[in-house]
Structure 1
Amino acid sequence: MKETRKYEYLTPDQERDLALRWRDRQDRAALDKLIGSHLRLVFKMARGYQGYGLPLSDLIAEGNVGVMQAAQKFDPDKGFRFATYASWWVRAAIQEYVLHNWSLVKIGTTAAQKKLFFSLRRLKARMNDLDSAGSGDLTPEAVESIATELNVPQAEVVEMNRRLGMDRSLNASLAEDGDSEWQDLLADDSPDQETVLAGTEERKRRQQFLKLGLGVLDDRERQILVARRLREEPLTLEELSQHFHVSRERVRQLEVRAFEKVQKAVMAQARQQPGAAAGKALVNA
């Protein structure tokens, strides 16, 4: 506020003269005076966003960026006052800062979502309509009314309303007199990295043993073993007997012989490598 008092209010003629000097001659002194005389506007607009829990000094700093951007693009020949033009840039800069710093999770991406974020609190205050259970959720009627007024899906209204509560620490207590924390509700039941890695290595070894075992079979034996043992929906003996033009008993014999060949090949290889457990597990499977 002390900084703003150094600059006097400008008359329309003074403002136009400063803007022309900056636009036409790049007069830095004129730019400084033009921007400085509108610091009060930045301060006033920044105070309107204090309710989002961010430092006022940061909001003012972002607003100053906006007013400088406005000065770069302002055309005094259009006939508008600089404050009218700059207010849009100041508001956009402050709102962008709030959106990026309100939560660790990105709040809004579309223009409608951003409008919802900055309008929801005002509309809630006007309706004074929260869930009677104390959960903070809006009633269905309030959700429908806000969604209609802002032209956004009702699901986005519900989600945005819950996000307005700011991020919570996972180490925060669930109750004032309790020892439980929020992170206690987020237990991860998935396997740890070591288990996942061990499983991946085990599957690789089994695939290697299987490839080795299938390599000792002739083409007919391989087809029968794959069709009977490795398919999700195994073929019947009757289907294979018709395909190979032999009896069902002959198909069964070929299947047993093929499996025994694979079993011997895998076990022999397993005894020569550290991955013996994988080979035995494959044979047993």
Structure 2
Amino acid sequence: MSLSVALNPEQGLNRYLSEIRKFPMLEKDEEFRLAKNWVEHGDTEAAEKMVTSHLRLVAKIAMGYRGYGLPIGEVISEGNVGLMQAVKKFDPDKGFRLSTYAMWWIRAAIQEYVLRSWSLVKMGTTAAQKKLFFNLRRMKGEMKALEDGDLKPEHLEQIATKLNVKEKEVNDMNRRMSYGGDSSLNVTIGSEDGSSEWQDWLEDDTDSQEHTLGESQEYDARMELLGDAMADLNEREQHIIRERRLSDSPKTLEELAVIYGVSRERIRQIEARAFEKLQEAMLKAAEPALIEG
């Protein structure tokens, strides 16, 4: 899926943000009708209308990742890819709105981009470190501890306890992330007259779907979904997935081929099929929670 409209956040962010405000938000009935046309008839115009009406949602979520030292236009572009994937897989008959369903895909696409692009993440990619990476800045903000330098002992303890990691890991991650620096909320976005600032695009502090689906809760929910989905795999598939994708020290195809007495290509095929089954099971298991949301 691609957009026919000429919109690219990497070629003038301020203009892009102004342009996407022109796309109207969809009422529930209209969204349902468009989604049915796309699912049942492959109506690309309907799909495009669903995408463009949610570009503001992508920009809003993307602004939450502005402190990672990456071009915000690229972050938004990655989020747009996630949005288009969400539209592709959206089932209007489930009863929930596209925005609720799409937020997970948008965040996942953006986080994948951040993890690929930030050099510090390459120094450690365990689940706990990823959780720490994506929650540390937010928690520092809540504690009003965004000043330069090391965290105070009481802040270290609070963060380590809440995220279930060691204080040394928090301190190390904080030092690494400090190299990127934090952006001022008053930095203007492309406008010479300074009429638009970063803070204009910050998320509302009041209760919202995004607040309810905070990163820490999402992480716990995904781990629960993963555990349930793993039960759909046979013993060999579970072992290969754990060793290849969930281990801190992944085994090579060759190592697993020796264990099972098959070729490297056969292990690769089993892994690919098992991962497909895992994704399908997780999406199916997530549907009731999405409907309730």
TM-score, normalised relative to structure 1: 0.53
Match status 1:33 vs 2:56: no
- 1-structure distance, mates of 2:66, 2:180: 17
* Cα distance in 2 between the residues matched to 1:60 and 1:155: 33
| SS of alignment partner, residue 106 of structure 1 | helix
C-alpha displacement of 1:104? 5.7
- Name the CA distance, whole Å, in 2 between partners of 1:167 and 1:46: 17
Q: Does 1:11 align with 2:21?
A: no
Q: Give CA-to-partner distance per residue, 1:50-107, whole Å, 9 cap, x none.
A: 2222222111101101101111211111111101110111111112212222226515
Runs of 4+ residues deviating >3 angstroms? 128-131
Q: Is the 8 A contact 2:20 2:52 kept in 1?
A: yes
User: Is the aligned partner of 1:113 residue 2:126?
Assistant: no
Distance 1:76 1:111, change over 3 A: farther
- 1:20 deviates by 1.2
Q: Deviations over 1:207-266 (max 9, x none)?
A: xxxxxxxxxxxxxxxxxxxxxxxxxxxxxxxxxxxxxxxxxxxxxxxxxxxxxxxxxxxx
Unaligned runs of 5+ in 2: 1-16, 182-293
Match of 1:57 among 65, 70, 73: 73
Contact 1:59 1:97 in 2 (8 A): yes
Q: Distance in 2 between matches of 1:108 and 1:70?
A: 29
- What is the root-mean-square deviation of aligned Cα atoms in Å? 2.4
Q: Distance in 1 between matches of 2:59 and 2:79?
A: 8
Percent identity of paired positions between Structure 1 and Structure 2 = 60
Question: Match for 1:161 among 174, 177, 187?
Answer: 174
Does the aligned pair in 1 maintain the 2:69–2:180 contact within 8 Å? no
In 2, the alpha carbon distance for the partners of 1:36 and 1:125 equals 32
Residue 150 of structure 1: which of 155, 160, 163 is its match? 163
Give aligned pairs, total: 165
Give the conservation status (yes or no) of the 8 Å contact 2:120–2:176. no
Cα 1:149–1:27 change in 2 (3 A) is same
Q: Which amino acid aligns with 2:173?
A: M
Q: Which residue is equivalent to 1:223?
A: none
The one-letter amino acid paired with 1:15 is E
Q: 2: CA distance between counterparts of 1:143 and 1:16?
A: 47
Matched, 1:90 2:106: yes
Matches of 1:130 and 1:87 in 2, distance apart?
Answer: 27
User: Structure 1 CA distance, aligned partners of 2:180 and 2:27?
Assistant: 46
1:1-285 correspondence runs (5 A): 1-103=17-119, 106=122, 108-129=124-145, 136-166=149-179
Gaps of 5+ in 1: 169-285
Q: Secondary structure at the match of 2:122?
A: coil
